[in-house]
């Protein structure tokens, strides 16, 4: 008997220009904590995004390493504001920002954007966590936040695709604890929730997008395969949920939305100003510095 694994294969909505957040779409998001839009970026758009990221010197200069504590690492580059390159056009587009606005029920702004790079064989794992686990501590009073996770490369079980506990956002915010070298949701609670909320592997083709609620439990495995797994993520906050603390992620900054056509029109360009990369506490430490700090 084969192992029974639940995946998102064959599920989700095919994105077309006529896509709308109907009552059914909204109900699904509220019930499951996510929706999938297949072909959210068409072949040309995702190819331009991929080439732009590969050529972007600022990513090279600003990425940091996120050690999974089990011998592997993922590289991440995180920035605050959308600018006029394809990453910004996607984040500002009606199909991304406009969809999130309808899902969350009001105006949104970009809370940050990032590229998560899981390289072949070395890409690191992420433990079970909720994004709101951290964002709560950064002064966001309400969980009126969501992320659009866009597959740049195919993401599947072999290269560490995202895993979710379906419907787990309905449990609300869980305690955060140290899990190995990472911070994650209380493993005891996660285990109990996993009995009720089916573990689901989010397998996506390049250009497919997962829109998910900030309290949805998610994780991902190491990449043991020869296939790269890069993803582009845009995180949104409701304008009405302006963080009450100043933190490394932006306070309310009006998002200038653009028509979807701007994604194609902008082509490959890599502006260096305005994004404001965040290097943050998770930046790769220089081992020599750590030795000095321990001695201090």
Ligand X SMILES: O=C(O)CCC(=O)C(=O)O
Contact positions toward ligand X, by CB under 6 A?
A: 116, 126, 131, 162, 218, 220, 231
> Bridge partners of 164?
200, 218
Separation CA 20–CA 41 (nearest Å): 16
CB of 69 to ligand X, least distance (A): 15
Return the number of the residue (116 or 258) whose C-beta is nearest ligand X: 116
CB of 279 to ligand X, least distance (A): 15
Separation CA 123–CA 223 (nearest Å): 5
CB of 126 to ligand X, least distance (A): 4
> Among 55, 165, 156, which Cα is nearest to 115's?
55
DSSP 8-state secondary structure symbol assigned to residue 135: H
Return the number of the residue (21 or 229) whose C-beta is nearest ligand X: 229
CB of 147 to ligand X, least distance (A): 8
Return the number of the residue (46 or 116) whose C-beta is nearest ligand X: 116
Contact present, 202 and 163 (Cβ < 8 Å): yes
**Which strand (E) or helix (H) includes residue 142?**
none
Residue reference for tokens 């979710």 = 164
Contact present, 252 and 109 (Cβ < 8 Å): yes
Return the number of the residue (39 or 163) whose C-beta is nearest ligand X: 163
Return the number of the residue (218 or 238) whose C-beta is nearest ligand X: 218
Contact present, 150 and 233 (Cβ < 8 Å): yes
Separation CA 279–CA 281 (nearest Å): 7
Give residue number: closest CB to ligand X. Answer: 220
CB of 228 to ligand X, least distance (A): 13
């Amino acid at each position: 008997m084969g192992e029974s694994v639940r995946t998102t294969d064959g599920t989700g909505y095919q994105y077309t220009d006529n896509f709308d957040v109907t009552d059914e779409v909204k109900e699904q998001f509220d019930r499951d904590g996510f929706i999938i839009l297949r072909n959210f970026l068409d072949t040309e758009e995702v190819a331009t995004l991929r080439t732009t990221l590969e050529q972007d010197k600022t990513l090279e200069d600003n990425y940091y390493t996120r050690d999974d504590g089990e011998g592997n690492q993922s590289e991440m580059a995180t920035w605050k504001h959308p600018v006029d390159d394809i990453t910004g056009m996607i984040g500002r587009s009606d199909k991304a920002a406009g969809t999130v606005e309808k899902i969350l029920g009001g105006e949104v702004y970009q809370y940050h954007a990032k590229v998560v790079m899981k390289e072949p064989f070395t890409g690191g794992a992420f433990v079970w966590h909720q994004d709101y686990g951290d964002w709560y501590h950064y002064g966001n009073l309400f969980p009126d936040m969501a992320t659009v996770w866009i597959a740049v490369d195919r993401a599947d079980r072999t290269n560490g695709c995202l895993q979710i506990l379906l419907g787990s956002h309905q449990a609300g915010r869980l305690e955060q604890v140290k899990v190995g070298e990472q911070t994650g949701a209380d493993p005891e609670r996660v285990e109990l929730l996993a009995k009720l909320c089916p573990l689901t592997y989010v397998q996506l083709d390049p250009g497919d997008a997962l829109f998910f609620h900030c309290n949805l439990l998610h994780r991902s495995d190491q990449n043991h395969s020869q296939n790269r797994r890069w993803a582009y993520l845009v995180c949104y906050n409701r304008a009405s949920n302006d963080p009450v603390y100043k933190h490394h992620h932006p306070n309310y900054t009006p998002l200038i939305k653009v028509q979807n056509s701007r994604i194609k029109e902008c082509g490959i360009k890599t502006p260096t100003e305005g994004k404001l990369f965040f290097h943050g506490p998770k930046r790769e430490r220089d081992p020599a510095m750590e030795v000095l700090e321990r001695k201090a």
